Structure 1
């Protein structure tokens, strides 16, 4: 970008909090107990960027014998492990510091539940930085790849979508950013670059690269 945006909206998991491998490991172990054996890279490919309801539906199609209350159980398992293990994505705090110094507001737009972010954000020390600016697919009619959560974040801030930047690590989320009419940057920390590159305005593999992309 030639000039910095008026707002940056971050996905949460895999962008701000280093949770993807943790949650996917929990999913892998759980599905194994329910008769579905998947490698971690398969789980990343199939499920990252979606919803847990989507995980449940697809896993059942693939042969998993999941009970009707599976979502309650998997959320409980994930939250317990995240509360012990999750850390910020390397370099994410420095990016927020740079945005604060430049006076650029930021928010979270996630397909995750508020209850999950209520675990990960305090554990990583990020909760206070996003007070009042944490938006979930629970707050909108349609989850990503629909643009709803990103449009909500921009609307609450009173900032036009075309003056916002979205930072995403999944193809589904990147499609949501593009659909919202926002400049979309893809972070390929744990996502194959080739899944993001065709969708995003630019891609990057290290958070230290983001301020320059933002024109800062």
Structure 2
């Protein structure tokens, strides 16, 4: 299933709004299948402090970094008292599951085709360096991306736009396009007036992603690659 806002994008009066030179790919949940491991790791981290946060509620916040997720799901008081310890607990819990993580079908092929079409390519993650390094290895990202990011590159994580600003700055990109899997990817991009293409690999519905601002929603990376000519990634403008 593919939904896209404009089948005549490049012939429309507003087409310049979608002219891009840089593709910014989210990593977790978009290129590699991590969202449910993230949710379970956070659940277990909270349980260490006798906090039981329903997994469905945690899942709705995946895409945020820990600085945003903890107060969002557990409240500001918990964040003030336990943020650093919870982040460390999450790291330990996620590290125990990281060997399970695999790339989504078509991830490498999609990146290669976008690069071959002439776009600058940035892999934007707010994850910790040890995990980002591992995930880049899974998709051979270092050999193809022009740049990548980690949590060390931004003061605030999504939905703050810091990471996208850094991603564009690293490649001197003037007009970016976000490719992500969560409503938080869309929210961060919206704050910079950057359009977003979304894939449903993070577990968010088409309706949620469209409501958050995605101009196109795709069931998978394979579907997105097949539809590139109908998107702003048809060619650099």
Report if TM-score (shorter chain) is over 0.5: yes
Task: Normalising by structure 2, report the TM-score.
Answer: 0.76
| Larger CA deviation: 57-66 vs 112-121 | 57-66
| Larger CA deviation: 16-25 vs 174-183 | 174-183
> Residue 108 of structure 1 contacts residue 130 of structure 1 at CA under 8 Å; is this kept in 2?
no
Shift of 1:10: 0.7
Shift of 1:66: 5.1
1:142 alignment partner in structure 2: 156
The answer as to 2:87 corresponding to 1:71 is yes
1:120 alignment partner in structure 2: 135
Determine helix, strand or coil for the equivalent of 2:127.
coil
Matches of 1:67 and 1:133 in 2, distance apart?
A: 29
Shift of 1:63: 9.4
Shift of 1:112: 2.2
1:35-63 residue CA offsets vs partner (Å, 9 max, x unmatched): 23344322211x21212133333454399
Determine helix, strand or coil for the equivalent of 1:34.
coil
Unmatched runs of 5 consecutive residues or more in structure 2: 1-8, 11-17
Matches of 1:67 and 1:158 in 2, distance apart?
A: 34
1:195 alignment partner in structure 2: 208
Aligned match for 1:155, one of 155, 163, 169: 169
1:190-214 residue CA offsets vs partner (Å, 9 max, x unmatched): 1122221021112111112223232
2:100 alignment partner in structure 1: 85
Matches of 2:121 and 2:37 in 1, distance apart?
A: 25
Unmatched runs of 5 consecutive residues or more in structure 1: none
Task: Normalising by structure 1, report the TM-score.
Answer: 0.83
> Residue 57 of structure 2 contacts residue 73 of structure 2 at CA under 8 Å; is this kept in 1?
no
> Residue 9 of structure 1 contacts residue 108 of structure 1 at CA under 8 Å; is this kept in 2?
yes
> Residue 125 of structure 2 contacts residue 132 of structure 2 at CA under 8 Å; is this kept in 1?
no
1:5-34 residue CA offsets vs partner (Å, 9 max, x unmatched): 422101111011111111212222333343
> Residue 68 of structure 2 contacts residue 157 of structure 2 at CA under 8 Å; is this kept in 1?
no
1:6 alignment partner in structure 2: 21
RMSD: 2.7
Determine helix, strand or coil for the equivalent of 1:69.
helix
Matches of 2:183 and 2:191 in 1, distance apart?
A: 12
Matches of 2:129 and 2:144 in 1, distance apart?
A: 13
Taking structure 1 as reference, are residues 180 and 55 closer, same or farther at Cα in structure 2, changes over 3 Å only?
Answer: closer
> Residue 41 of structure 2 contacts residue 94 of structure 2 at CA under 8 Å; is this kept in 1?
yes
2:5 alignment partner in structure 1: none
2:56 alignment partner in structure 1: 41
Matches of 2:216 and 2:205 in 1, distance apart?
A: 14
Aligned match for 1:16, one of 31, 39, 42: 31
> Residue 45 of structure 2 contacts residue 86 of structure 2 at CA under 8 Å; is this kept in 1?
no
2:219 alignment partner in structure 1: 205
Matches of 2:217 and 2:108 in 1, distance apart?
A: 19
> Residue 36 of structure 1 contacts residue 63 of structure 1 at CA under 8 Å; is this kept in 2?
no
